[in-house]
């Protein structure tokens, strides 16, 4: 992921194809809800980090651009830096903060890496090939140059371009985006991939994305299992948008 015109970069990953529908910059308005009532649904773990046997599935293909991007940015921003899946270099933190029946994958801060992760079978997967947040004008510039691709087990995946959408994600002060002013009320955009759940067994997801001089990529070696997942230390994450 990338935060435009800020000192630090955050890189995520997912598709391309298309340009952002540039909305003029506006002041605060009713953006996605991140209230506790909006978060409902079982997660992959409880507050003690124990796996939940019956996580609530989410129809990832029905998520609006605001819901999708608010969900992902809340996940990325509400996990402290030491355990953050975007900072992660080998996959040991893939399960951090995973909740609500969608498994999220992260990109990088501008590097290419390999991660090995265990994920639940038949659970939808969502990830950005390349994405950004800032003003709607930032997003227009970002999407004009955005490009990327994603491959699952040797098969090209559909990459979806999502233009400037207002979000109000969560974050923690000791997370990798804590210094970015305006994070909780900004505009998000990017190239995204939505996947239905995978069958048990080994799978590989490879994606590469870029915009201008920023580039990111991850080779995900996934082990998809029907059994219980290792118990992550679950952190808060906003789930839905208005």
Do 209 and 147 form a contact (C-beta atoms < 8 A)? yes
What is the DSSP track for 48-59? TSPBPSSPPP--
The string of pLDDT tens digits covering residues 167-226 is: 888 777 666 665 555 566 689 999 999 999 999 999 999 999 999 999 999 999 999 998
pLDDT surpasses 70 at 37: no
Please state which of the ranges 18-32, 67-81, 151-165, 196-210 shows the lowest mean pLDDT.
18-32
Q: Tell me the three state secondary structure of residue 140.
A: helix
pLDDT at 85: 94
pLDDT at 55: 53
Dist CA 132 CA 107 (whole Å) = 11
pLDDT surpasses 70 at 242: no
pLDDT at 131: 95
pLDDT at 175: 67
The string of pLDDT tens digits covering residues 69-79 is: 999 998 988 88
Within 13 Å and on the Cβ side, how many CA atoms surround 150?
30
Please state which of the ranges 35-39, 80-84, 224-228 shows the lowest mean pLDDT.
35-39
pLDDT at 80: 85
Which is higher by pLDDT, 81 or 178? 81
Task: Of 1, 51, 54, 17, give the one whose Cα is nearest residue 169.
Answer: 1
Sorted by sequence, the CB contacts under 8 Å of residue 24 that are 6+ apart come out as 136
Query: pLDDT class for 38, splitting at 50, 70, 90?
Result: very low
**Average pLDDT of span 85-97:** 94
Provide the pairing of β-strand 214-225 with 2-3.
unpaired
pLDDT at 26: 37
Within 13 Å and on the Cβ side, how many CA atoms surround 183?
26
* DSSP-assigned beta bridge partners for residue 149: 208
Percent above pLDDT 70 for the chain? 64
């Amino acid at each position: 992921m990338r935060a435009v015109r800020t000192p630090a970069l955050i890189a995520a990953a997912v598709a391309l194809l298309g340009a952002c529908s540039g909305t003029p910059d506006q002041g605060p308005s009713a953006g996605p809800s991140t209230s506790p009532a909006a978060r409902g649904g079982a997660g992959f773990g409880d507050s003690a980090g124990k796996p939940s046997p019956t996580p609530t599935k989410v129809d990832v293909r029905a998520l609006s651009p605001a819901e999708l991007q608010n969900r992902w940015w809340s996940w990325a921003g509400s996990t402290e830096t030491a355990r953050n899946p975007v900072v992660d270099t080998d996959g040991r933190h893939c399960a951090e903060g995973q909740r609500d029946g969608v498994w999220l994958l992260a990109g990088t801060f501008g590097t290419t890496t390999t991660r090995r992760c265990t994920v639940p079978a038949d659970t939808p997967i969502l990830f950005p090939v390349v994405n950004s947040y800032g003003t709607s004008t930032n997003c227009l510039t970002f999407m004009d140059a955005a490009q990327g691709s994603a491959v699952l087990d040797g098969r090209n995946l559909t990459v979806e371009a999502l233009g400037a959408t207002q979000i109000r994600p969560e974050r923690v002060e000791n997370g990798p985006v804590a210094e970015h002013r305006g994070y909780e009320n900004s505009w998000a955009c990017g190239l995204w991939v939505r996947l239905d759940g995978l069958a048990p067994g080994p799978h590989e997801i490879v994606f590469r994305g870029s915009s201008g001089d920023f580039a990111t990529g991850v080779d995900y070696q996934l082990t998809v299992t029907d059994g219980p997942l290792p118990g992550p230390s679950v952190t808060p994450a906003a789930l839905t948008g208005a």
